[in-house]
Amino acid sequence: MIDNQRLSKLLFKELKFTPQEIEDKYPQRSLKEGARVTRFAPSPTGFLHIGGLFAAMIAKFTADATDGVFYLRIEDTDKKREIDDGVSEIVDGLNSFGITASEGVLGFEREKGDYGPYEQSKRCDLYHCFANELVKQGLAYPCFCTADELSKLRDEQENQGVNKGYYGEFAKCAQLSIEQIEQNINQGKPYVLRLRSQGQEDKKIVFDDIIKGKIEMPENIQDIVLLKTNGVPTYHFAHAVDDHLMRTTHIVRGDEWISSVPIHIQLFKYCGFKVPKYAHIAPIMKEEDGGKRKLSKRKDPEAAVSYYVQQGFPKQSVIEYLLTLANSNFEEWRKANPNAQQSSFPFNLKKMSVSGALFDLAKLSDVSKNVISLMSADEVLNGTMQWAQKYDTDFYELLNSDMEFAKNILSIDRGTKKPRKDIAKYSEVKDYTRYFYDEIYTPSYTLPENISPKDAALILEKYMEVYDPSDDKNQWFARLKDICQPLGYTPNVKEYKKNPSDFKGHVGDVSTVIRIAITSRVNTPDLHAIMSLLGKEKVMSRLKLAKDVFEEEF
Ligand code: GLU
């Protein structure tokens, strides 16, 4: 047995606080009973994966549903993986989807809250203090093994066919006497601080995961590293201290961390911290060649949240879609409450699926069409302009040149009981509105098979004679009906269906020809509204142009 007090003095000469002072500095939060404190704790690698957004969203909604706190902590103890401005990338990524933390890191060198600092690299004094407590209890020791020695150990273990790692009889430095340690330190040998695990291979830990249920795993027997040679903690140790001091009640994170739970529970217990509750989320999967795999940062552009921003998906759409993956009852709730705020959905961690949900871009588009169909014209215009300002500046200028006009276009058929669902992302608005802008519209006509160019030309000729821009919608339609009979069409669709051979077609065909002449499309929102917005001059010139083109065709 070595003298732990002496070891503590040897290793930690200048501690800034006592554990009690720290506990007092970060008191229990005064929240209402049952309020959950959750966090998102990414490394600042500068890439926000859709799985990260998913986890952050679930952590936030879990906290919000209980009037709790959701905070953002940056886990930057591994400087090798960090990129410049990785923090902003993550914060901006989350914010652009409305997953804003009420506490923690807000941006580069910006944070808010009483439990900070929220960047691990700024909390070393705190970690040292708790590491020292472990040393004092004989639960941590310095290890002077070099990289070379460790690699030899691994080879040896491989040859022996035993589990790899630093544990039990292989944990050479666990046996060092205090004199040997002192001598090594005096000689300036670098060392890490290791946990002296009391775990036993044949014993199990059991914990109740809110999503996955009861999980049983072998205890951790590895003497894992707590502090690296430069005194910076490893993720495992830092997160235990932080989740304790920041008073996290529920650790919501990806299920790739389940295998680390035995280490984590051990750390919480050895440090005298209450073990938080766990909720491990299954990853988002992708279907490929009949199988399933995780969405990959390398292979799938849709793995990065920036993809959705670039594509022009509104943030609500992405969140609504992720909610359908998270809680299977969300879709039903949305149907019953089409106009309710997303935040009023009673989010429930227990309803999360145990295995990975399949990501489906087509489904995202459907969800998004619904979301956009319920927006006001102003919202669609603002969203589109924000998107276009960055990704399609020509179109932005076009919209900006007459925003009232743009808003009127987007108002067509909006706000009705059954709004059209044809825009899935802001990048589609250009094509959707194209025929309103001569700058981006090139007429190109394709008639349905049942209408000949000759008949189309006759329809247009006749229509030009009667067209009156001051008509309201009823008068406009009445006029279309009026020209039917002389052209061999019937104004009455039912009548046509009864005796199709008596007519060339019905009023729907007549309006189709006019629609094609004005927009080059067979399917558009309300044609009367479109023509009113375009105005007499443009309407007449488009009717004439189309008539000329059809005449040339026969
Ligand atoms: N920093 C870890 C990560 O990058 C967080 C794991 C956790 O949430 O405990 O995913």
Here the CATH number for the domain that contains residue 536 is: 1.10.10.350
Pocket residue to mutate for ligand 1, from 257, 258, 268, most atoms within 8 A of Cβ? 257
pLDDT tens for residues 142-179? 999 999 999 999 999 999 999 999 999 999 999 999 99
351 in a structural domain: yes
> Same domain for 476 and 328?
no
> Same domain for 146 and 259?
yes
> Same domain for 419 and 465?
no
Q: Does 253 contact ligand 1 (Cβ within 6 A)? A: yes
Q: Is the pLDDT of residue 83 over 70?
A: no
Cα 134 to averaged position of ligand 1 atoms, centre (Å): 23
Give the C-alpha separation, 171 to 166, whole Å. 5
Cα 41 to averaged position of ligand 1 atoms, centre (Å): 5
Cβ–Cβ < 8 Å for 85, 127? no
Choosing from 351, 373, 395, the residue where a domain stops is 373
- In sign, the C-alpha dihedral spanning 402, 404, 406, 409 is negative
81 in a structural domain: no
> Same domain for 147 and 275?
yes
> Same domain for 160 and 181?
yes
pLDDT tens for residues 494-538? 999 999 999 999 999 999 999 999 999 999 999 999 999 999 999
Average pLDDT over residues 239-253: 98
Average pLDDT over residues 20-34: 97
39 in a structural domain: no
> Same domain for 166 and 260?
yes
84 pLDDT band, cuts 50/70/90, is low
> Same domain for 214 and 165?
yes
pLDDT tens for residues 87-118? 888 999 999 999 999 999 998 889 999 999 99
> Same domain for 385 and 422?
yes
Choosing from 281, 296, 330, the residue where a domain stops is 281
62 in a structural domain: no
> Same domain for 154 and 229?
yes
Q: Does 82 contact ligand 1 (Cβ within 6 A)? A: no
Choosing from 349, 373, 397, the residue where a domain stops is 373
Q: Does 260 contact ligand 1 (Cβ within 6 A)? A: no
Cβ–Cβ < 8 Å for 100, 321? no
Q: How far is CA 58 from CA 38, 74, 303, 322, in A?
A: 9, 18, 17, 9
How far out from the chain centre does Cα 196 lie?
39
pLDDT tens for residues 409-422? 999 999 998 899 99
Q: Does 75 contact ligand 1 (Cβ within 6 A)? A: yes
pLDDT of residue 250: 98
Q: Does 551 contact ligand 1 (Cβ within 6 A)? A: no
Ligand 1 atom, smallest distance to 52 CA: 10
Ligand 1 atom, smallest distance to 252 CA: 8
Mean of per-residue pLDDT scores for the chain? 95
For a pLDDT cut of 90, what percent of the chain falls above it? 91
Amino acid at site 481:
K
Q: Is the pLDDT of residue 86 over 90?
A: no
534 in a structural domain: yes
pLDDT tens for residues 35-69? 999 999 999 887 899 999 999 999 999 999 999 99
292 in a structural domain: no
> Same domain for 189 and 242?
yes
- Using CA positions, which residue lies closest to atom 1 of ligand 1? 42
Name the one residue in this structure whose structure tokens are 């809110």: 210
Domain that holds residue 331: 312-373
300 pLDDT band, cuts 50/70/90, is very high
Please, where are the H alpha helices in 412-470? 429-433, 453-466
Cβ–Cβ < 8 Å for 326, 58? yes
290 in a structural domain: no
82 pLDDT band, cuts 50/70/90, is low
> Same domain for 185 and 211?
yes
pLDDT of residue 357: 87
What CATH number is associated with residue 236?
Answer: 3.40.50.620
Cα 4 to averaged position of ligand 1 atoms, centre (Å): 32
Number of domains in the chain: 4
369 in a structural domain: yes
- Encoded tokens for 284: 């988002």
- For 173, residues 6+ apart whose C-beta sits below 8 A from its C-beta are 141, 142, 143, 144, 145, 191, 194
Q: Does 123 contact ligand 1 (Cβ within 6 A)? A: no
> Same domain for 224 and 190?
yes
Cα 106 to averaged position of ligand 1 atoms, centre (Å): 18
Q: Does 505 contact ligand 1 (Cβ within 6 A)? A: no
Q: Does 36 contact ligand 1 (Cβ within 6 A)? A: no
Q: Is the pLDDT of residue 313 over 70?
A: yes
469 backbone dihedrals φ, ψ, rounded to 5° = -65, -15
Q: Is the pLDDT of residue 297 over 90?
A: no
78 pLDDT band, cuts 50/70/90, is confident
Specify the pTM: 0.90
pLDDT tens for residues 378-399? 999 999 999 999 999 999 999 9
Q: Is the pLDDT of residue 1 over 80?
A: no
Average pLDDT over residues 115-124: 96
